[in-house]
Structure formats: structure tokens, C-alpha cells
Amino acid sequence: MTPSDEQALQRRVGQTSEATDTVSPRLLASFRATLAPHVYDIDESIAPPGLHWCLAPELVAADSLGDDGHAARGALAAPATLPRRMWASGKLGFLAPLRVNDEVRRRSTISQVQNKQGRSGALCFVTVQHQWANQHGPVIDETQVIVFRAATSAASAPQAPTTFRSTQTRAVQVDPVLLFRYSALTFNAHRIHYDLRYATEVAHYADVVIHGPLQATLLLNFAARVGGRLPRTFSYLGIRAATGTQRLLLRAAAGHEGELALDVQDADGAVTMQAEVAW
């Protein structure tokens, strides 16, 4: 990373933005239709977990998009030397449920920028604090970590055999229709999720990429099914990219002090995301 890129990234710390949206009946119905039969529903008027990632997306005009489909400029635009942007990790605290017709406000603040050197080269981790509130008060506190990296080969190192001893599992078939519908729900124009040529030739993935928030949403709803209630906290960590049409396996195992450990296993047996839920 060049010194100018590093300085530009550090200047983003403290930047804040706000956006508003409505939990409309159409959005709720679209979310349920897209993720069926994997949605956890306790009441038709209460939003299933993960719906907040479909609210208040960044609405960038077509002529302001970069080659990758993300905003070319702005607080979370990729630096020139680290053009690849991915979800790295995050933690959610659920304070109250979202309900149909809620007016929702998200306040987002960049709290930290960390530059590191990984096996694949330079990495930049940007931490964003999101505070979600409806007309009655706070509903979700979220810490999101986004990683920027160079556009080099996306090949993952071989993974050691997992010792995860799941007590419950759920299979999810991922196909181009699911990827398209989830991109549409979240207004996500990142080309790695639908443009095969871009994903393979430019971003150097093996195939189009299965969204990180989609995997996290599936884990959230699976955890709620296993526990029979909405979680109090949910933390997740992206391990490696999941790509292409395939069957993902969601796995759950009881953790310490009543917590639930979860992960996503791809068709090759590699873990792509890990998570933990507390009630």
C-alpha cells in the first residue's frame, strides 16, 4: 500500500453517515420468499433475523460506480492499491425485534483502520459501528469489519480437517437464482456475485462468490431454529470464499454456558464461515 493510500484510509476514521428505510410488507415478503424454507418466523409481523442487512443500502448512481460495482468514491471506497473488498467479521447485539412498517434509521461510524501483512500481501481492515433504531428506540448494535486486499489470486490455502462435532445440520442449495435475488434484496452491485468473467478473470475467484451476509443470515436463522428463539448476540468470522452453485451445510453444536457454535461447510468440506450465538 502506498503512503498516500494509507493516509487516505486513516482520514476516514470518525466519518459518520446516516440512512433511513422502512420495513415494508413487500420487503418482508421478498426476504421470506428468497430464503424459504430457511427463514425462522415467530410472527408474521416480526422480521426474521438478518433482514436489517437489506435495509437502507447505499444508493449509488450508475455513473458513480467503480469497475467492481461498488461506489468509486466515498468513505468505504476501496483504495487503488487494494481494490478487492470483502466481509471479514462482525458482531450483532439484538436489543428489540424489527416489525413490519417500522421506520428504521442506521447511523454508521468508521471507528478503526488497521493495516496488516497477510500471506496474500497487504491487508486493510476497516471497522464500522452501526447503530440501528426504529421509532421506539435502538434495535440492533452492530460491529462490522471489512477487509481490502490486492487483486491477486484468490486461491485459499488447504484447510486442516475440522474437529467440529455438530449436533444439528441443515443443507442449503445455492444457485444463481438465490444469488441474484439476494443481491437484489440488498441492492448489492458487487460483480463478484453475478458476473462470472469478472469474478474469475479480474477478481481471481474460482466462480461467482456466495455473499458473506447471505451466509451469516442463513446461520442466524438456523441458530434461531435450533434455539427456538431469536438470539441476543451473534458474532461471525469469514474463513474463506464460498463460490459457485453448490450445497452448503450449516452446522451447530452446543458451546460453553449455553452458547451455540455454528459454521458453514462448503461442498468440498472446507469451512467458509464460523459463528457463535448467545441467548
Residue 137 identity (one-letter amino acid):
G
Query: In the structure, what pLDDT confidence band is assigned to residue 154 with cuts at 50, 70 and 90?
Result: low
Q: What are the residues whose beta carbons fall under 8 Å from the beta carbon of 201, sequence distance 6 or more?
A: none
> Which CATH number do you get for residue 141?
3.10.129.10
Average pLDDT over residues 2-9: 71
Q: Are 274 and 262 in contact (CB under 8 A)?
A: yes
Mean pLDDT of the residues in the chain = 92
Could you give the number of structural domains in the chain?
1
pLDDT in tens, 175-192: 999 999 999 999 999 999
Comparing CA positions, the residue from 199, 158, 195 lying closest to residue 180 is 195
pLDDT in tens, 41-54: 989 999 999 999 99
Strand residue runs (E) in 83-232? 84-94, 103-118, 121-134, 137-149, 168-174
**Reduced to 3 states, what is the DSSP secondary structure of residue 5?**
helix
Domain with 42 in it: 3-278
**pLDDT value at residue 164:** 75
pLDDT in tens, 231-255: 999 999 999 999 999 999 999 998 7
Question: pTM here?
Answer: 0.93
Query: In the structure, what pLDDT confidence band is assigned to residue 163 with cuts at 50, 70 and 90?
Result: low
pLDDT above 90 for 229: yes
